[in-house]
Amino acid sequence: MITIGIADDHTLIINGIIQMLRSEPRYEILFSAQNGSALLAALTQHQPDVLLLDIELPDNDGISLCGQIKEQYPQVPIIALTNHDEIVYVRKMIRSGANGYLLKGTGKEQLIQAMEAVLAGEQFIDRQIEQTILQQTISGRKAAVNVKLTNRELEILSFIAHEYSNQEIADRLFLSVRTVESHRHSLNQKLNIKTTAGLVKEAYLRGLI
């Protein structure tokens, strides 16, 4: 018997998962929680074989909560459950210790595949997201051939991707904040990107994160 914990603030999602697995005798819902505090309380009493974790709970940031749970219960595999299909969220959850990443619209077959994979010590990423990553990586690598960045620009791009502020980047590289801002502007111009999220994606495609 494989026990499952569910943390999601939407009763509809919890009930949907319960219904999906009702005909699967191998799986048992150990508990469900609708916020981070309730989840942490439940974990002190019972540790499931697999935890399905929404990354947006009312009282907790699911990304930091994932890291906290992994510190306290490293043996519990965590599968992120979310509507976010952006690569940035995937990488943040994996960095925080998540073993899998599923979109909430997933079907029973893929849910079971994900749980079996993480129980076997493997990582599992939703097939829809895998396809998106593949397409973006291919197009990004093609674009990268035509857009050359200096070593300094690559350094700064890497720091931006790791969420350093302009001041922190300046301190690390012994530059003025104005110089960092100038390099950042140059990156935006060269890559035709206007947002930090876009720069993070570019860093990912270039293998900097």
| pLDDT tens profile 146-181 | 577 888 988 998 898 888 999 999 999 999 999 999
What pLDDT is recorded for position 130? Answer: 76
Mean pLDDT score, 8-32 = 94
- Percent of the chain clearing pLDDT 90 (strictly above): 60
Q: In this structure, what token pair is assigned to residue 145?
A: 């051939």
Check residue 49 and give its pLDDT.
98
Whole-model pTM: value is: 0.67
Tens digits of residue pLDDT in 25-68:
999 999 999 999 999 999 999 999 999 999 989 888 888 999 99
Q: Judging by beta carbons within 10 Å of its beta carbon (0-12, 13-18, 19+), is residue 123 exposed, middle or buried?
A: middle
In the predicted model, what is the mean pLDDT of residues 125-142?
67
Query: With 50 as the cut, is the pLDDT of residue 145 above it?
Result: no
- Fold of the 147-205 domain: Arc Repressor Mutant, subunit A (1.10.10)
User: Has residue 133 got a pLDDT over 80?
Assistant: no
Q: How is domain 2-126 classified at the architecture level of CATH?
A: 3-Layer(aba) Sandwich (3.40)
Distance of alpha carbon 139 from alpha carbon 121, whole angstroms? 31
Q: Which sequence spans correspond to the domains of the chain?
A: 2-126, 147-205
Query: What pLDDT is stored for residue 135 in this prediction?
Result: 62
Q: What is the mean pLDDT of residues 72-79?
A: 97
Q: Is the pLDDT of residue 113 over 50?
A: yes
Cα 102 to Cα 33, 86, 156, 202, 206: the distances in Å are 18, 12, 31, 23, 25
Q: What is the pLDDT of residue 180?
A: 94
